[in-house]
């Protein structure tokens, strides 16, 4: 089958190589999916560049890609929830990535049926950012009606989804973006929009319950100032903390390193009586089914900036790295 392969880690716009790889084996609890479209994420660039080698030691050559939508072509002997012909989508488990390919085998627990009202390209844009927002706002922050939530980079992939989810939960939502994207984030539900080129968010926002951080370390430090005592600072961009090491199942290898990496921000958070945590989202078909319900009910609308052909996957990666994408970027593996 055709796929985009990473032969060696490195920061290059043409690091992925188009090539042929064997069709994946299907275990008894696996579902083989013919990929129609795949989401392109900042995570893909970070994996390609080797930024996660300590935590995700993939051995090149391997196929990149972290979310997709497609059609079931076969199922394992013990699979009962899916059948051939089902339209599905997923963020595969971190140990089984590879959506930049014509086929992928996904464990049935990580899979969900595609929202009926979405195209394949739209559906492929959802799993990684949708699960990230769900696990941050619902599972970890337990956002409830009347709380105040600050979502950074509101026009990005996670931001456009998280704004809508936070509003659905009844929160007052603040976000940062550029002037050009103010209308977009307001349409998605943002109550307070801060132009990061004109104003400092830490001088505008106060007494917030939750901050969803996705930017640099300096922004992380400033984020502490907008939270009230007991507030939660959830970072998607690090530094990773010891709890993350436990979640990865490698506590003895990673815990010392994560303790050192996150010492500064954890200490600063404790001084302000704020909880800091690092979130690396995980595959979860059950949560994805909840997201499907919200999409089909019209509560959440995915935002897709650009759709590239499969042959231009490296170009899609390059575009992601510009930081200018509004919502998600997708490649169509099998045009429909």
Residue 139 has, within 13 A of its CA and on its CB side, a CA count of: 16
Beta bridge partners of 86: none
Alpha-carbon distance 289 to 190, whole Å?
25
Nearest to residue 62, comparing CAs of 36, 40, 44?
Answer: 44
Parent domain of 100: 2-126+302-332
User: Is the CB of residue 125 less than 8 Å from the CB of residue 160?
Assistant: no
Alpha-carbon distance 267 to 269, whole Å?
5
Residue 97 lies in a domain: yes
User: Is the CB of residue 6 less than 8 Å from the CB of residue 15?
Assistant: yes
Task: Tell whether the model's pLDDT for residue 114 goes beyond 70.
Answer: yes
The pair of three-digit structure tokens given for residue 84, joined into one six-digit string: 């051939």
How would DSSP label each residue in 247-285? HTT-HHHHHHHHHHHTHHHHHHHHHTT-EEEE------H
Task: Tell whether the model's pLDDT for residue 14 goes beyond 90.
Answer: no
pLDDT in tens, 212-228: 999 999 999 999 999 99
User: How does residue 11 score in pLDDT terms, banded at 50, 70 and 90?
Assistant: confident
Domain shared by 140 and 204, yes or no: yes
Residue 153 sits in a domain whose CATH number is: 3.40.50.720
Residue 112 lies in a domain: yes
pLDDT in tens, 19-66: 999 999 999 999 999 999 999 999 999 999 998 888 888 999 999 999
pTM: 0.96
The angle that helices 42-49 and 313-321 make with each other, rounded to 10 degrees, is 100
For Cα atoms 124, 319, 218, give the angle at the middle one, nearest 5 degrees: 100
Place of tokens 């579902």: 31
pLDDT in tens, 245-265: 888 777 677 778 888 889 999
Residue 106 sits in a domain whose CATH number is: 3.90.180.10
Domain shared by 266 and 160, yes or no: yes
Residue 66 lies in a domain: yes
DSSP 101: B
Task: Tell whether the model's pLDDT for residue 99 goes beyond 90.
Answer: yes
Per-residue pLDDT, 251: 65
């Amino acid at each position: 089958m055709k796929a985009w392969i990473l032969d060696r880690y490195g920061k290059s716009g043409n690091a992925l190589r188009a090539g042929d790889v064997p069709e994946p084996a299907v275990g008894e609890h696996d579902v083989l999916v013919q990929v129609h479209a795949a989401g392109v994420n900042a995570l893909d660039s970070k994996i390609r560049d080797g930024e996660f080698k300590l935590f995700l030691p993939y051995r090149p050559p391997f196929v990149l890609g972290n979310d997709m939508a497609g059609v079931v072509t076969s199922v394992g002997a013990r699979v009962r929830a899916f059948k051939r012909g089902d339209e599905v989508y997923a963020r595969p488990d971190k140990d089984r990535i590879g959506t930049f390919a014509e086929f992928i085998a996904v464990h049935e627990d990580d899979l969900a049926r595609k929202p009926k009202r979405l195209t394949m390209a739209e559906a492929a844009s959802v799993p990684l950012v949708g699960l990230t927002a769900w696990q941050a706002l619902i599972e970890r922050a337990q956002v409830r009606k009347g709380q105040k939530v600050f979502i950074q980079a509101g026009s990005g992939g996670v931001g456009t989804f998280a704004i809508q989810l936070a509003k659905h939960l009844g929160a007052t939502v603040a976000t940062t973006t550029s002037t050009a994207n103010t209308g977009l984030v307001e349409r998605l539900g943002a109550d307070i929009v801060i132009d990061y080129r004109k104003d400092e968010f830490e001088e505008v926002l106060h007494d917030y319950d939750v901050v969803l951080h996705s930017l640099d370390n300096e922004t992380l430090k400033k984020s502490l100032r907008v939270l009230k005592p007991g507030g939660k600072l959830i970072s998607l961009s690090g530094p990773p903390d010891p709890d993350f090491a436990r979640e990865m199942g490698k506590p003895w290898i990673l815990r010392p390193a994560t303790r050192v990496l996150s010492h500064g921000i954890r200490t600063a958070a404790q001084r302000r009586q704020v909880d800091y945590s690092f979130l690396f989202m995980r595959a979860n078909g059950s949560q994805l089914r909840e997201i499907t319900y919200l999409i089909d009910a019209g509560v959440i609308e995915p935002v897709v900036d650009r759709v590239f052909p499969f042959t231009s996957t490296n170009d899609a990666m390059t575009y992601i790295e510009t930081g200018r994408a509004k919502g998600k970027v997708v490649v169509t593996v099998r045009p429909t």
